[in-house]
Chain A
Amino acid sequence: MNFSYLGREAFRDLLHEAVLHGSVLLEGPRGVGKTTVLQQLEAHPPDGSTVLRFDLQGVESATQLRDRMAKHATLARNRLEGVFAQLLGNWEPKDPWESLERLLVRAPGRCIVLFDEVQLYLDHLARSDRERARRELVQLDALRRSSTAKFVLTGSVSLVPIARSLGEVISPDWRRLPLPGLEPAPAKAMFHHLCDAICGEPVLTEAIRVTAGYPRWIERLAAETRCPAGREATLEDLEAGIDRLLTSNPFVLELRHVQRSSDAAILDRALRLAAVPGTNRNAMITSLQQAGSSRQQAIEVLLTLRETFFLDDHDALALPLFQRALQRQS
């Protein structure tokens, strides 16, 4: 059983409905369960639909993406009734996006294509060739108009700030679906099930608060929370578990993403300001200006952090566990 999908039936229905009517940007921070949602969609497609899921991590070009899709199609010969496999020989290598379209137009029934980790693909391109990354983004944005398939794009960074950094704008035609953390009840159930220790309500509540209901962090914290046999875990045991988890430097990917940004220094400063207890938007904007940024820069940095899911709508750190990690570093 996939626990991270617990309690997300309503979201699944919402996604099904949305994807039947148009293309979707499924947004959420790392560890919130986007990939699991896609896997579930792939495993239980809407009636009459064929779902193809592709992870763009490690993909370096549209041609490679197309080839990966072709390979997938070959492997899924039976499910796709061999249509893709018949078409492989006719692809035009010079225009992977067009050949992708031609591939999809021959697909039986309604086709839903899921692209996971889109931001990694664009980020990889942008590091060597910004213009190429921009062109690919335009192609991805144009997928929403495809008459042959519906698309779901996901990534742990919203496409909106990526597009802005490349000088482009994502079309408002995309349906943006933010994926929240698990509801408290299924989240507690998941922690309870995964944790070897016996946990009472206070521990469960604190665990879910710290992890904000993100399945990945629930799973990892549950694995680190221990207590001697014969007694119930206490909040101190949970704290010890959090310490063990943070010692393994679990947010290295998030911090690396910040460090790769052109505004790395100011983003990093803003994150550390956000980790200060009692801070608020005013304090962060003021402090960033004190450190030499203009007000406009400070506001843009907070917006970027919101769009990359570090901050919530109130400009507080969305994941308390991440806040703890930053405080430990400071």
Chain B
Amino acid sequence: MLDPFTPWQEDPDQLEARTVGRSEPAAWLTAACDAYLDGGSPSWCLVTGARGAGKSHLLQLVRHRITDPAAVTWIGEDTPVEPDAARLWQRLQGAPSRWGWRPEPESTRTRRLLFVEGFDRLLAALKPIERWSLRHELAESGYFLVASAVSPSIATGQDDAFFGQFDTWSIGGLDLEQAEALFIAVSAEDVQAEPGVLKRRKALVHLAGGSPRAIVTLGNAVRNCRPDEVGTAEGLLQAIQTLVTHYQQRFHDLPALGQQILVALAEAPRQLTATEVKDITGSTSAHVSAIARVLEAAGTLVRTPDVRDKRVAHYALAEPMFRYWLEYRTTPSWEQTRVSWFARLLAEVLSPEQVLNVWWSSPPGVAREAVESTHHPVQLFLRAMAGLREDPSNASAIVDRVLELKGHDAWMVTLLAARLVDMGLDASVDDLCKRVPASPILSACVDFLNSLQTGDSRSVFVRLLREHGHHHSSSALGWALLRRVPREQQTWERFTPDEASDVIPIPFLRIGLLEAPWPGKPPLLQWEAIAEFDLEGAPDVQALVALATRHGDAAIFRRGCDELQRRLDDPKYSAGTQGFFLECPDPACPAPDSDSLAGLLWARESNACEGHMSWLASCASMTEKNFGSLLQRFQRREFLYDFPMFREANVTALLALALRDRERFQTLASCQPESPSIRQAIHTLEQLDERANGPLQPELELVWQAVAPPERR
């Protein structure tokens, strides 16, 4: 880990390796020192710059580069100040302390270099007359003085002892390219890292502005933490705390108007013009302009001309991190703003998905609350559902998290119950039921699970659907419960017309019941039960259309197509979640063998949506735009329900399309290269292509038989 505050403790090689953008001042200073050592008499040198700009780094670098490093007496930054020039001069010469300690070995050299850090601080403790004495001592001694200071003001006052005595180089902030190079050197990241790392790097460099110390601190934050977003979040908090003193000192170094300008910029929601800054600070334009120029030179402020009127300049903070520091240090009601503060900080650096992962991977507390300000509770719920799949043994904690979500809704609880049921986590279902006592559907769910022991599960199931079928998530829960019915009990009688009238209005579940809910068992609903059903507004109309093709029901097929056609002109659908269904099945491109496909999907833990997917896969004439919308929809659904069946169905549907029309598939796939479903489909396709070279794996062979065109089987 690099110490951003004490570069003189660093190994010279490492110091060289991470030197960025300072070649010119280093060459200038080295040349001056070498000229002095060679017998010349150059002017004393002064390096100025804001705190953390790299003055100590530069001095230390030059110390190692000059021809005779041993000629240097190094006076570190934290040397105690002296009010008396003679005592200070004694200290600068490296006089032994009371205990015999001396900072540098005594030397008999006649030409010595005196490197003094924070020379302005030492001078500030001296009265003017003492400064003249010190200058006299320095001049008489023949030392070559190389000093650093925050401001060059020690050498610009007409009456000051050191007026005109220094050749000065004011070092500013690094530009973006240099800052990134320094960040890479510190963080040890690859120059060509993966996109996520690149994005994070750019964000961190942007946060730091051009301040080398801030860049080193943030680079350390990334380097020393786990190489993931959680590590980044932890590192960021540490970095802010590390930089508190740094920003504080820099802030205090500024003149009063400089501080006011920075606060105005930090609090403003956008860039400010000079006139706005003038109005906010109550100063004059000339004064604001002059101070802004100084702030700009110090790398604290960025000034950009207006694109339309170059006479107008816009001011912004060069280091966005400053804004966070200021808020961190000055907000009176910190407990209330802490959460959004951290969330905004994370959002600067991480993508929303990464912030979500930070929340999920962190213990309940700050991160959970923080992420709620950037994410909708639904997104957090979906992440919790994904977490349940990742670690079923953590179900109890996940139940806690879902119930703690602000604005958690009944449908979330029901979906969680469905997932728990599906995974066989009955104890957690019981626990959930106790935690949400006012939820009748959960009680009914527990009753059903209990009924599996007694054997009257069918009647309990029918009652549940009758009483709670209107519930938003009854379909998912109903399907999950069906899957829990033991094989020996999968002998339910077909639903009576009366029962069917309760079940038919439940979207998606009815598809499964019209199909075979259990392999090798008859459907629980008769196809005829759907004959009179009004398809208008049905969310699963596509699946019903696909199912109609299997049952040869031209009437339902036509009604379904009419409904889909109607939606083409309905803004509610074209602009909403159904918007991607913009094309009807192409008669010239019929659906694949849906029986085979359905069997395959069932075997792969799919559900009733297979008809839906196979129908979609038949849309070979679908436009790229609609195809993109479709995939986004798929991905949302994968995340929403977190059932593998969706992903499998997507992949199989895509595969069907690829086998039937490879060129069309490639066109569509090239539009959405980042889709996991497409990637998996392409991978499977490549494996299937190997069929000519020998038999496939049994599973792939099944896929081939299901979806390959008959002539190729």
Contacts and interface: CB of A to CB of B under 8 A. Distances in A.
Interface of A: 276-283, 285-287, 289-295
B297 A283 contact: no
A278 B163 contact: yes
Contacts of B167: 282, 285-286
B294 A292 contact: yes
B156 A283 contact: yes
Interface string B50-64: 000000000000000
Contacts of A287: 152, 156
Given A292-B293, A294-B297, A283 B170 contact: no
Contacts of B165: 282
Contacts of A283: 155-156, 163-164
A277 B155 CA distance: 14
Given A281-B164, A285-B168, 14 more contacts: A276-B158, A278-B158, A279-B164, A282-B164, A283-B155, A286-B167, A289-B168, A289-B170, A289-B297, A290-B152, A292-B296, A294-B170, A295-B25, A295-B169
Interface in B37-51: 43, 46, 48
Nearest to A277: B158
B155 A293 contact: no
Which of A279, A281, A282 has most chain B Cβ within 10 Å?
A282
B320 interface: no
B152 A286 contact: yes
A312 to B, nearest CB: 16
B151 interface: yes
Interface string B515-528: 00000000000000
Nearest to A295: B169
Contacts of A289: 48, 152, 168-170, 297
Nearest to B45: A282
B159 to A, nearest CB: 9
Contact of A290 (B156, B158, B163): B156
Nearest to B151: A290
Nearest to A266: B293
Given A277-B158, A279-B164, A285-B168, A291 B43 contact: no
A295 B48 CA distance: 11
B298 to A, nearest CB: 8
A278 B160 CA distance: 11
18 contacts: A277-B158, A278-B164, A279-B158, A279-B163, A279-B164, A282-B155, A282-B165, A282-B168, A283-B155, A283-B156, A286-B46, A286-B156, A287-B156, A290-B151, A290-B156, A292-B297, A294-B170, A295-B169
A1 to B, nearest CB: 44
B290 interface: yes
Contacts of A285: 167-168
A289 to B, nearest CB: 4
Which of A276, A277, A286, A292 has most chain B Cβ within 10 Å?
A286
Contacts of B6: none
A292 B166 CA distance: 17
* 4 nearest A-B pairs in the assembled complex, by CB-CB distance: A283-B164, A292-B293, A292-B297, A289-B170
B501 interface: no
A323 to B, nearest CB: 14
- Label chain B's interface by main secondary structure: mixed
B153 interface: yes
B172 interface: yes
Contacts of A286: 46, 152, 155-156, 164, 166-168
Interface of B: 25, 43, 46, 48, 151-153, 155-156, 158, 163-170, 172, 290, 293-294, 296-297
Contacts of B170: 289-290, 294-295
Contacts of B153: 290
A278 B46 CA distance: 19
Contacts of B168: 282, 285-286, 289, 295
Contacts of A281: 164
Contacts of B25: 295
Contacts of A279: 158, 163-164
Contacts of A291: 290, 293-294, 297
Contacts of A290: 48, 151-153, 156, 170, 294
Contacts of B163: 278-279, 283
Nearest to B153: A290
A287 B158 CA distance: 10
A116 to B, nearest CB: 36
A292 to B, nearest CB: 4
A172 to B, nearest CB: 27
Contacts of B297: 289, 291-294
A329 to B, nearest CB: 16
Contacts of B43: 282
A125 B598 CA distance: 82
A15 B682 CA distance: 86
A276 B159 CA distance: 11
Which of B163, B164, B169, B290 has most chain A Cβ within 10 Å?
B164
A227 B168 CA distance: 48
Which of B168, B172, B290 has most chain A Cβ within 10 Å?
B168
A16 to B, nearest CB: 42
Contacts of A295: 25, 168-170
A79 to B, nearest CB: 53
Nearest to A280: B164
A292 B43 CA distance: 22
B111 to A, nearest CB: 21
Contacts of B152: 286-287, 289-290
A286 B158 CA distance: 12
A276 B293 CA distance: 22
A265 to B, nearest CB: 9
A189 B627 CA distance: 97
A278 B161 CA distance: 12
Nearest to A293: B297
Contacts of B290: 291
A250 B167 CA distance: 34
Contact of A294 (B151, B172, B294): B172
Contacts of B172: 294
A268 B638 CA distance: 68
Nearest to B158: A276
B437 to A, nearest CB: 68
Contacts of B155: 282-283, 286
Nearest to A276: B158
A280 B169 CA distance: 16
Nearest to A284: B164
Contacts of A294: 170, 172, 297
A291 B156 CA distance: 10
A282 B43 CA distance: 8
Nearest to A273: B156
A154 to B, nearest CB: 34
Nearest to B159: A278
B48 to A, nearest CB: 7
Contacts of B151: 290
A77 B155 CA distance: 64
A146 to B, nearest CB: 42
Nearest to B28: A295
